[in-house]
């Protein structure tokens, strides 16, 4: 592969200095880059839709000759409108574009063109608005017509035709120089195409089956290297000497006595797993997943205290200040009046005054502080520990793998526990957390009441308010949530504020109503929350700030107004605020959903309270790209393969990577030398980070 990596595309016919510059915008510099510039989709032009058979409302590809063209000014929008009429002998279609007067240069009458777009009926004519277009030139017709045609990502100054031509040319010229990254044995074992056939069929598929096989092979390769790098990282970390903690029965009894309840079986099992890791010399790399309220914090805290018993320090990192504070307050309360009351526990967050931070840092460095809770402020260069041996990272999906490695560097290969309350579909966790052992708490503490969930149209609100009055009369408390998509959306805020005032004077007159939202001063918001906790507020009107961590077992009713505007995960987190006591709870989603996605979301949230099922549904509804945002390691490190759509290939590649590293951990066997070089090239970060954490 190395020769192709070093050969500039400029050596290709048809690529001069100007075009070379433009290709750079597509990330293409070398011949190899060009070969790996894959189509974003395909058009099957072997069976083109006849213009007489165009289906209104559908996206389709049509072709024909330009028989007329012209432009006008829209009297309505004053935009420049350019129109062409295309005829294929069976019918006609109009192509319409706005504000693109230069198009006139392309659509000369008699020119053969292909259009791809959505057909619409407009004033008795069939048209496509702003379709993708392509001029068919006789000289390159074989690449653009009568076959499955690749459609590439474009950039200004480059056409599909041009890309097809140079890529076709590139394959022909350099295919004999391609070195297959996958050994024959591996290819045979998994029935994978060789690299030449794959690249040919990724770009210019012989047929759809070949295209799919090519895609499978290329994805497998990419997954394989990804998994190899992750497994290598894991092996490197585990090879480092960490802390061998002593965790004895006396400590366990002491820990147990901190709580008025007994642990669930799931909690006990996971604690055993953590203790097992902590006792080993090699560092712990563990993911702890479990739904909201299942009792993860307690389990994570056990490790912190065990480390401190061993005269070490520990860290508890949360993604936001609110969460960090909440953990801090909870943990402080647990430690108070327990046998651990002498433990020094502090909070480090960005908003702390500088002089306090300086003071705190000193204490961290001298080891006066045993347990440090905080946000990513913990990651700051000048936070140094005396002897950090145990790290908890809450809500890992908000931190990247790099941050995870970074915090680990603050100790000598500390044990790391990553926690997530966003259940991750199994297949995905393999990609996101493939270097971690997984522990799952799949059981809620006993005695939690059931939650009934109902979607009601907005007009039923009065009935819900009447129900609320009854519940409050029985001594229960209530949340009423308003959407606040973006904190700056003044309008939404007004909805909560206006309703609050309205409720006080009307529906809930005489009852104690409170308001909390994200734009309040923190102290004010805290004061309101405290009042709600103490029962001095009966009905709390809130925006989605409530999503994180409040724990009021007496709150048994939640109303979510405009529920269609919340994401599924968000609805699940919000609803997790009720059903914390032993009484039955009720969640009302007031909504008149219109979009299919919103309807699907509400259906999902009504049908189950199981976070894992909700996560799967979320994934299905939102599709691959949006589920985890763009920064997820593993999702954006993969250029071509898609872990969400190619689960079977992902797993196959994982097994292969495990087999390979088991047989040859260092990948030193000459036949694996290739693998080693490639992962060093593609994932250098993973390997260097590994030695640190």
**Distance separating alpha carbons of residues 687 and 678, to the nearest angstrom:** 12
For residue 423, the minimal CB distance to ligand ADP (Å) is 11
Scan residues 295-324 and list those touching ligand ADP (CB under 6 A): 295-298
Contact 86, 92 (CB under 8 A): yes
Quick one: what does residue 292 bind among ligand ADP, Mg ion, none, with the CB cut-off 5 to 8 Å set by partner type?
ligand ADP
When binding is defined by CB under 6 A, the residue of 183, 445, 535, 624 that contacts ligand ADP is 445
**Distance separating alpha carbons of residues 678 and 225, to the nearest angstrom:** 7
> For 535, which DSSP code?
T
Quick one: what does residue 423 bind among ligand ADP, Mg ion, none, with the CB cut-off 5 to 8 Å set by partner type?
none
For residue 331, the minimal CB distance to ligand ADP (Å) is 10
Cβ proximity to Mg ion: between 248 and 470 the closer is: 248
3-state secondary structure of 369: coil
Which of these ranges, 146-154, 412-420, 534-542, 664-672, lies near Mg ion under the rule CB under 5 A?
A: 412-420
Scan residues 521-560 and list those touching ligand ADP (CB under 6 A): 551
The residues pairing with 555 across neighbouring beta strands, listed in sequence order, are 477
**Distance separating alpha carbons of residues 691 and 235, to the nearest angstrom:** 10
Contact 480, 515 (CB under 8 A): no
When binding is defined by CB under 6 A, the residue of 131, 150, 290, 693 that contacts ligand ADP is 290
Tell me if 421 contacts ligand ADP by CB under 6 A. yes
Task: Of 225, 205, 158, give the one whose Cα is nearest residue 19.
Answer: 158
When binding is defined by CB under 6 A, the residue of 73, 121, 261, 582 that contacts ligand ADP is 261
Cβ proximity to ligand ADP: between 292 and 496 the closer is: 292
Task: Of 268, 342, 343, 341, give the one whose Cα is nearest residue 298.
Answer: 268
Contact 661, 210 (CB under 8 A): no
Which of these ranges, 53-61, 152-160, 407-415, 522-530, lies near Mg ion under the rule CB under 5 A?
A: 407-415
Tell me if 242 contacts Mg ion by CB under 5 A. yes
Tell me if 643 contacts ligand ADP by CB under 6 A. no
Which of these ranges, 146-154, 219-227, 291-299, 520-528, lies near ligand ADP under the rule CB under 6 A?
A: 291-299
**Distance separating alpha carbons of residues 448 and 366, to the nearest angstrom:** 43
Tell me if 290 contacts Mg ion by CB under 5 A. no
DSSP 94-153: EEEEES-GGGGGT--TT-EEEEEEEEEEETTEEEEES-EEEEEPGGGHHHHSSSEEEE--
**Distance separating alpha carbons of residues 78 and 68, to the nearest angstrom:** 22
Strands (E), 568-689: 585-590
Tell me if 439 contacts ligand ADP by CB under 6 A. no
Q: How far apart are the first and last CA of the chain?
A: 31
For residue 271, the minimal CB distance to ligand ADP (Å) is 11
Number of residues counted as binding ligand ADP (CB under 6 A): 15
Q: What angle do CA 133, 131, 621 make, to 5 degrees?
A: 125
Cβ proximity to ligand ADP: between 394 and 471 the closer is: 394
Which of these ranges, 219-227, 409-417, 479-487, 587-595, lies near Mg ion under the rule CB under 5 A?
A: 409-417
**Distance separating alpha carbons of residues 659 and 224, to the nearest angstrom:** 11
**Two tokens, residue 199:** 């690249």
Which of these ranges, 97-105, 131-139, 178-186, 413-421, lies near Mg ion under the rule CB under 5 A?
A: 413-421
Tell me if 413 contacts ligand ADP by CB under 6 A. no
When binding is defined by CB under 6 A, the residue of 284, 294, 317, 548 that contacts ligand ADP is 294
Contact 587, 452 (CB under 8 A): yes
Which of these ranges, 7-15, 259-267, 385-393, 505-513, lies near ligand ADP under the rule CB under 6 A?
A: 259-267
Residues 6+ positions from 487 with CB-CB distance below 8 Å: 518, 519
Tell me if 611 contacts Mg ion by CB under 5 A. no
Quick one: what does residue 290 bind among ligand ADP, Mg ion, none, with the CB cut-off 5 to 8 Å set by partner type?
ligand ADP
**Distance separating alpha carbons of residues 453 and 607, to the nearest angstrom:** 8
Scan residues 210-229 and list those touching ligand ADP (CB under 6 A): none
Quick one: what does residue 242 bind among ligand ADP, Mg ion, none, with the CB cut-off 5 to 8 Å set by partner type?
Mg ion
Cβ proximity to ligand ADP: between 279 and 448 the closer is: 448
Number of residues counted as binding Mg ion (CB under 5 A): 2
**Distance separating alpha carbons of residues 180 and 172, to the nearest angstrom:** 16
Task: Of 262, 420, 258, give the one whose Cα is nearest residue 330.
Answer: 258
Tell me if 411 contacts Mg ion by CB under 5 A. no
- Tell me which residues touch Mg ion (CB under 5 A): 242, 415
- Tell me which residues touch ligand ADP (CB under 6 A): 261, 263-264, 267, 290, 292-298, 421, 445, 551
């Amino acid at each position: 592969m190395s020769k192709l990596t070093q050969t500039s595309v400029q050596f290709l016919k048809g690529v001069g200095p100007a075009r070379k510059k433009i290709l750079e915008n597509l990330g293409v510099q070398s011949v190899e880059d060009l070969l790996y510039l894959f189509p974003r989709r395909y058009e099957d032009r072997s069976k083109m839709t006849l213009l007489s058979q165009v289906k209104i409302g559908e996206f389709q590809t049509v072709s024909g000759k330009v028989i007329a063209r012209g432009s006008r000014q829209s009297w309505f929008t004053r935009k420049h409108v350019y129109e062409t009429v295309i005829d294929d002998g069976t019918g006609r279609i109009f192509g319409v574009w706005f504000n693109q007067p230069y198009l006139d240069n392309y659509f000369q009458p008699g020119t053969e063109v292909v259009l791809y777009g959505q057909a619409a009926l407009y004033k008795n004519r069939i048209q496509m608005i702003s379709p993708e277009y392509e001029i068919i030139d006789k000289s390159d017709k074989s690449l653009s017509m009568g076959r499955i045609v690749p459609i590439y990502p474009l950039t200004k100054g480059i056409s599909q035709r041009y890309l097809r031509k140079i890529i076709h040319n590139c394959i022909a010229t350099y295919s004999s120089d391609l070195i297959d990254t996958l050994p024959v044995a591996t290819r045979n074992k998994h029935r994978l195409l060789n690299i030449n056939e794959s690249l040919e069929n990724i770009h210019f598929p012989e047929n759809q089956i070949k295209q799919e096989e090519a895609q499978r092979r290329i994805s497998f390769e990419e997954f394989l290297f990804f998994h190899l790098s992750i497994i290598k990282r894991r092996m490197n970390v585990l090879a480092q000497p960490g802390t061998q903690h002593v965790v004895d029965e006396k400590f366990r009894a002491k820990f147990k006595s901190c709580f008025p309840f007994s642990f669930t079986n799931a909690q006990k099992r996971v604690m055993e797993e953590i203790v097992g890791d902590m006792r080993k010399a090699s560092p712990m790399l563990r993911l702890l997943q479990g739904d909201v309220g299942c009792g993860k914090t307690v389990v994570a805290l056990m490790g912190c205290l065990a480390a401190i018993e061993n005269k070490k320090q520990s860290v508890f990192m949360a993604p936001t200040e609110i969460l960090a504070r909440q953990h801090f307050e909870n943990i402080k309360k647990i430690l108070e009046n327990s046998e651990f009351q002498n433990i020094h526990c502090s909070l480090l967050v960005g908003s702390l005054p500088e002089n306090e931070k300086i003071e705190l840092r000193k204490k961290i460095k001298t080891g006066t502080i045993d347990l440090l809770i905080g946000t990513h402020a913990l990651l700051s260069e000048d936070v140094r520990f005396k002897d950090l041996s145990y790290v908890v990272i809450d809500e890992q999906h908000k931190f990247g793998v790099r941050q995870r490695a970074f915090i680990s560097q603050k100790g000598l290969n500390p044990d790391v526990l990553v926690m997530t309350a966003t259940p991750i579909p199994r297949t995905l966790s393999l990609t996101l957390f493939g270097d971690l052992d997984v522990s799952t708490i799949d059981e809620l503490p006993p005695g939690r009441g059931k939650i009934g969930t109902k979607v009601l149209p907005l007009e039923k609100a009065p009935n819900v308010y009447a129900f609320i009055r009854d519940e409050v009369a029985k001594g229960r408390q209530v949340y009423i949530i308003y959407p606040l998509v973006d904190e700056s959306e003044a309008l939404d805020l007004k909805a909560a504020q206006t309703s609050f005032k309205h409720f006080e004077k009307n529906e809930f007159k005489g009852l104690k109503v409170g308001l909390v939202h994200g734009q309040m001063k923190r102290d004010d918001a805290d004061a309101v929350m405290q009042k709600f906790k103490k029962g001095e507020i009966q009905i709390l009107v809130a925006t989605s700030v409530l999503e994180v961590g409040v724990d009021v077992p007496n709150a048994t009713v939640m109303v979510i107004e405009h529920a269609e505007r919340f994401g599924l995960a968000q609805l699940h987190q919000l609803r997790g605020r009720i059903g914390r006591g032993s009484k039955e709870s009720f969640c009302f989603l007031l909504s008149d959903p219109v979009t299919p996605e919103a309807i699907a979301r509400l259906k999902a949230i009504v049908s189950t309270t199981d976070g894992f099922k909700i996560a799967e549904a979320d994934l299905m509804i939102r599709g691959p790209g949006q589920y985890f945002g763009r920064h997820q390691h593993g999702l954006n490190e993969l250029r071509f393969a898609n872990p969400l759509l190619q689960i079977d290939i992902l797993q196959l590649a994982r097994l292969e990577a495990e087999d390979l590293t088991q047989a040859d951990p260092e990948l030193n066997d000459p036949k694996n030398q290739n693998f080693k070089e490639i992962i060093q090239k593609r994932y250098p970060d993973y390997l260097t980070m590994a030695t640190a954490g």
